[in-house]
Structure 1
Amino acid sequence: MNRIITLSALVSLGLSTPALAHDDNCNVELDGNILYERGVLTVDMDNGSTMTITPDHNLTVNGEAIGLDSQQQRWVSDYYTHIDTAIPMSVSIAADGLALATTAVDEVFGELFGADNDVVTEFNTMFADMSAELDDTFYDENGAIRINSREMRQKEWMEGGWENEFEDRVEEAIAQSMGKILVALGTQLMWEGGDMEAFEAKMDRFGESIETRVERQALKLEKKADQLCQVLADADEAETQMQRHIPGLDGLNLMDVSYHGHADKM
């Protein structure tokens, strides 16, 4: 049974994607609704008004153009640019996290039991389904990135819902496949001539090798998440200045970000 626990733990490494919402070094809280479509950014503000910024950085509130001085325009441009940068980064990290989990399964179960094993096939089918859900959530019919926070909340993709759903599905799949895993492990033990010590030593070496490879990829993913958090922190700073200094944007409070001492908005 310890061998099963080891395998499950290794697969779980693929699920340990950086959680931006509640990371020790990065805390991101999103409030309100955002729509990003065809490069147009629309935000519902706390005061009931709707702010829109076009790809050429023109600002409107409730459809009316807002005149800006040069400093105000810089804040608007910074805000749009950072959000425009953060959105594809977020989508990429979600896709990379899914790919990492798939790699963990292929590495752990594929190399141990064979790539055509039923357990590997079932996991890869599950990951393919989740990848299709990710594409459906973040891309329009033309393949362009589209973000609608209302739809994402309904699908529980916000507030850590994606990660929770991800982990729940994998844990359920492992539980459902436990019988097949035990049979496969028994077969491996027979190949070792019934020598339990030799089998456990082999499993330990295998586990260490897989863990090293998966953790290396996870570290790269964490670096990308760290870069994303900095971009969001910069967007939050621009949002603060817009809220304070541009008439009609007093209700703008889409995000609050703290990152490496980056203070939350007051």
Structure 2
Amino acid sequence: MKSKLKTIALSVMLATGAGVASAHNVSCDVDMAYDIDLDGQKITLSDNKAEKVVITGSNELYLNGDKQSLSSEQRELLGAYAKDIRELLPAATEVAEEATSLALEAVRDVTATLLHDNPEKAEKFVSRVDSIAAGIKQHISDNHLRPNGIEEYFEGSEFEKEFEELIEDTVVDFVQGNIGEIVAAAMRGDDDKVNTFEKRMEKFGEEMETKFEAKGELIEKKAEALCQLVEQIDEKEDVFVKAFDKYEKYQLVTE
């Protein structure tokens, strides 16, 4: 199994509507060949639930269940590599949780403005988005990372279909509740009503930019750091492979 590991933060923000917070495109163009599980200090890399690699807290290495004989130098290199893998999961989880939280906050603000006359509908919208965003927790936590599951979740047709429906419903409600009234006001020369609506929309846009841009940039920096950590894992993995060539076909990070 090979899975493209894109920056989780940006994936979440763009998928859940918080792309307004960041216009930059950050991605980690690497593949991760395995799911990762942490049990204390024990690392397990698996493919379709089949264990391929186990690295213990004392830097013992098992490949397909067979313990490998390593020199002290090889164990040291393995330990440096494993240390970064252990850091990857909590770092990725932090970014994903912060990005999801920001996305939900943005969605809540958008619906509160566009559906201000229908708070029950707005809350229903937010609840649906919350439910969808929560699905990412099935694939990422402090003790597991499912790269393939994350990609399938964000790129799956059901996920995209759900968000298309959410956006469509909100736009339809907004148009039905506001545009017709504004057009009618314009036709009868009610400039005050039209100007009030325009100012409301302008103020909303400015508030969204002010509120979310800085937060989005902070998350983006963490996303960039996450990419750097993945690249560092890749580099240390290559160093270990040079010292222990049997590990070459078990590499976690591929390009």
Normalised by the length of structure 1, the TM-score is 0.71
Please list every run of 5 or more consecutive structure 2 residues that lacks an aligned counterpart in the other structure. Answer: 1-13
Match of 2:230 in 1: 232
Residue number in structure 2 paired with 1:60: 62
Distance change (3 Å), C-alpha of 1:127 and 1:245: same
Q: TM-score, normalised by structure 2?
A: 0.74
| Aligned-residue offset at 1:82 | 0.8
Name the counterpart of 2:26.
Answer: 23
Determine helix, strand or coil for the equivalent of 2:57. coil
Could you list the per-position Cα deviations for residues 161-210 of structure 1 after superposition, in whole angstroms to 9, with x for gaps in the alignment? 444456653332010232322244359958x9862133213311221121
Aligned pairs (5 A) from 1:177-192: 177-185=170-178
CA distance in 2, matches of 1:90, 1:195: 47
Please list every run of 5 or more consecutive structure 1 residues that lacks an aligned counterpart in the other structure.
1-9, 257-263
Residue identity in the other structure for 2:102 = L
Aligned partner letter, 2:235: E
The 1:74/1:188 distance shift into structure 2, 3 A limit, reads farther
Fraction of identical pairs, as percent? 22
Q: What residue number does 1:175 align with?
A: 168
Q: CA deviation at 1:247?
A: 4.4
Cα distance in 2 for partners of 1:227, 1:237 equals: 15
Q: Which residue of 2 is the match for residue 104 of structure 1?
A: 106
User: Is 2:132 aligned against 1:130?
Assistant: yes
1:238 aligned counterpart, secondary structure: helix
Residues 15 and 97, structure 1, Cα contact 8 Å, conserved in 2: no
Give the number of aligned pairs.
231
Counterpart residue identity of residue 211, structure 1: E
Aligned residue identity for 2:91: M
CA shift, 1:79, in A, is 1.4
Structure with the bigger percentage of helix: 2
Q: Deviations over 1:2-23 (max 9, x none)?
A: xxxxxxxx997504688xxx83
2:214 to 208, 213, 216: 216
- Per the alignment, residue 79 of structure 2 pairs with 77
User: Structure 1 residues 56 and 124 mapped into 2: Cα distance closer, same or farther (>3 Å)?
Assistant: farther
